[in-house]
Structures are given as C-alpha cells and as structure tokens.
Amino acid sequence: KGFSKGNKLKKLGMKAQDTCELFFEDCRVPASAVLGEVNKGFIYLMQELPQERLIVGNMAIASAEACFEWTRSYVKDRKAFGAPLANLQTIKHRLATLKTEITIGRTFA
C-alpha cells in the first residue's frame, strides 16, 4: 500500500526522460497538503494536455529546424563528384521540400 513505481514505458522520443507507471494506493495526505479538490486530480491532468501537446509540437519543429540547418551546412561542405553536394539538383529539391514542410509546421504549430 502507499506509493509504488511500475514498469518503465517505451517511448518514441525523449528517451532520456524515464517515464513509468506510478501507483498510489490508500495514500494519506494531510488536508493542508491537498492541492485542488479531492478526487479531481485526473480532471486537472486532462485540462493541461492541450498545452503539453503544443509544447511537444513546438519542440519537434525546433528539432527539425536545427537538423535542417546542420544538414544544409554539411551538404555545402561535403564534396562529391568534384563539387559540393549542395550543387546537386536532387539535394536542392530535397532540402526545398524539407524547408517547406518545416515552415508549414511552424506556421500551424
């Protein structure tokens, strides 16, 4: 009884943050330590989900922008066939597509 920690959850991203199940059984909390109304904790959590999702979306866009800039810098410096990769039409097209998708994501995030 009390507090126990469950299994670590497998996630797609932010693997450095260990996310796991938390169980609270018959925990006693003094009235002076209660935050909000009793038995409303789940509702409070659900009210914050839209904000949390927005933050995660913004983090994804920021990561994509950083990766794009690193890639753009790399293809300007990396040479193949006697010229920078950035001069190849397929690379230009792919970078343009990526930048467009990132810009759309930033616009609607």
Tens digits of residue pLDDT in 41-59: 999 999 999 999 999 899 9
CA distance 82 to 21: 55
- Amino acid identity at 15: K
Q: Kindly indicate the confidence band of residue 11, based on its pLDDT and cuts at 50, 70 and 90.
A: confident
Catalytic residue numbers, as ranges: 52
DSSP letters spanning 41-55 = HHHHHHHHHHHHHHH
More confident residue, 41 or 109: 41
The residues with which 68 forms a beta bridge, in sequence order, are none
Q: Which pTM does this prediction carry?
A: 0.69
CA distance 61 to 70: 14
The pLDDT assigned to 47 comes to 94
Residue length of the chain: 109
